[in-house]
Amino acid sequence: MLNHQLPPDTQAILLLCASFGQNRKTEPQPLTLTEYNTLANCLRLQQLTPKNLLEETAKKQLLEMIIPLDPNRIIALLERGMLLSLAVEKWTSQGLWILGRSDPEYPRCLKQKLQHLAPAILYGVGNFEQLSQGGLAVVGSRDVDEEGLSYTDYIVQTCAEQGIQIISGGARGVDQTAMLVALNAGGNVVGVLGDSLAKSAVSSKYRNFIKSGNLALISSYDPDAGFNVGNAMGRNKYIYGLSDYGLIISSSVDQGGTWAGAIEALEKIKTVPVFVRMQGTIPDGNQQLINRGAKPFPEMPFNRPLQELITDVIAMDQDALSSIPNSEIDLTLSPQTENELKPASENSESQKDTPVYPVSQTIYEAVLPLIIRQLEQPKDAKSLAELLQVRPSQIQDWLNIAVSQGKVKKNKKPVTYEVNRDVSLLSFISNKH
């Protein structure tokens, strides 16, 4: 457990950023994360840290500093010492701990993955060392169906058995199911809450798991804060930031926290691979996330350790992507190869066997899963070439091969390509890799 004697830097950050349970409209307004980052950068340029603002000369220094913030507001925030003392006493009596971004115990992964988006303050309860252990983020809609909940149950039980920590958001539906199933199966869980940390810390459904060291609950918001849509959305990036991989069980399209968090992770937290469930009845949002760069989660039941299967999917995508721009090979198909790719009815009996492809076949097999994922909706060759950043003539060659193998279907008027749904594509991809 952390020492309740807060380091000076953390005290200063709390004075600047914490609400101490007060109304949002109470003056002076605590600094937002963006405002705090601005101040921290100004201090850094002066070779100072937040603790220097607690010194007697701080008021004079602030008034002399050139900063894009009202120095009088900062001074007023720093004068809330009594509120700080009362709040810390209350929080620690509830078993909570506080981590400032400058504390050595602060999870390094958040600073590395989120950089300036890492929260200035983390409130928490339970084993804070779990914050640095990574794991699988499991998130999804609140109003998930039974099929989605059963899938969640299977995944998190597997993770518990194989020692993979679960990170989730605590909301009803997928998040809460993932946390409780994993805990009851003996697994470790980190819950990243957007509200009511103090209340959750003493909840009967969590209390014993906190005591046993299997559960850590954290929040970047005041421990007594009630539900707020902005806070619920804001905490999504912290779920991904603490994770090695993310799994979306179910998502709507263009709405809801699950969708917003996934898009944010795909666009801003690119070191965390985002997976989606692609088994059973697939929500529209899941398919659209695939189109935006997410990856299909390995199919269950698993025939190997889950971590190996996840790693294989990531490696497959990295190999395929790296092979495209770096290839110096002329991949234009020869007339002989074009003949081999014609349907068997157009070839001689000796050509009905599986054709022998040139060197480009190796790259084709690596790129095919990416092509398949993009063609869940019909696309023309030019659009697909732009998406994959390759020459149109090259993508046309690959499409010709995929069509000849029955993996892709060619439409006419206009000419577009799409997945041939008569073929078991998912099994094809998993068999190849």
The CATH number assigned to the domain holding 267 equals 3.40.50.450
193 shares a domain with 86: no
Q: What is the pLDDT of residue 318?
A: 62
Do 182 and 145 share a structural domain? Answer: yes
SS3 state of residue 98: strand
Residues 352 and 318 in one domain: yes
Q: Identify whether residues 216 and 339 lie together within a single domain.
A: no
**What's the per-residue H, E or C state across 208-231?**
HHHHHCCEEEEECCCCCCCCCHHH
Q: Judge contact between 250 and 140, C-beta under 8 A.
A: yes
The total number of structural domains in the chain stands at 3
Choosing from 297, 318, 334, the residue where a domain stops is: 297
164 and 34 both lie in a single domain: no
Considering the domain architecture, whether residues 338 and 288 belong to the same structural domain is answered as no
Burial code (b: 16+ CB inside 10 Å, e: under 16) for 15-45 equals bbbbbbeeeeeeebebbebebbbbbbebbee
Given 77, 92, 107, which residue is the final one in a domain?
Answer: 92
- Residues 6 or more apart whose CB falls under 8 angstroms from that of 119 comprise 33, 101, 110, 220, 238
> Quick one: 284 and 139 in the same domain?
yes
Which pLDDT value is given to residue 320? Answer: 54
What integer pLDDT is reported at residue 323 of this predicted model?
53
* 381 contacts: CB under 8 Å, gap ≥ 6: 392, 395, 396, 399, 415, 417
C-alpha distances out from residue 65 to 35, 72, 216, 287, Å: 15, 12, 40, 51
pTM above 0.75, yes or no: no
Q: Mark whether 263 and 155 lie in a shared domain.
A: yes
In a domain, 97, yes or no: no
- Residues spanned by the domain of 396: 310-432
User: 206 and 141: one domain?
Assistant: yes
Residue in this structure with the two tokens 């099929």, named with its chain if needed: 147
- Rounded CA gap, 278 and 281, in Å? 8
**The domain spanning residue 377 has which CATH number?**
1.10.10.10
Asked if residue 202 and residue 143 are part of one domain, the reply reads yes
37 belongs to a structural domain: yes
Tens digit of pLDDT per residue, the chain (433 long)?
455 689 999 999 999 999 998 876 778 999 999 999 999 999 998 899 999 999 999 989 898 888 899 999 999 999 999 999 999 999 999 999 999 999 999 999 999 999 999 999 999 999 999 999 999 999 999 889 999 999 999 999 999 999 999 999 999 999 999 999 999 999 999 999 999 999 999 999 999 999 999 999 999 999 999 888 888 899 999 999 999 999 999 999 999 999 999 999 999 998 899 999 999 999 999 999 999 999 999 999 999 999 999 998 888 766 555 554 444 333 343 343 334 333 333 333 333 333 333 334 456 777 888 888 888 888 888 888 888 877 787 888 888 888 877 888 898 878 899 888 765 434 444 444 4
Domain for residue 398, yes or no? yes
Sign of CA dihedral 161, 269, 266, 257: positive
Using the 3D structure, point to which of 70, 92, 114 is the last residue of a domain. 92
Within this chain, do residues 162 and 268 fall inside the same structural domain, yes or no?
yes
- By three-state DSSP, how is residue 37 classified? helix
> How far apart, in Å, are the Cα atoms of 201 and each of 10, 150, 205, 373, 388?
22, 27, 9, 42, 47
Pairing of strands 136-139, 215-219: unpaired
Size of the chain, expressed as the number of residues it contains: 433
Same domain, 265 and 314: no
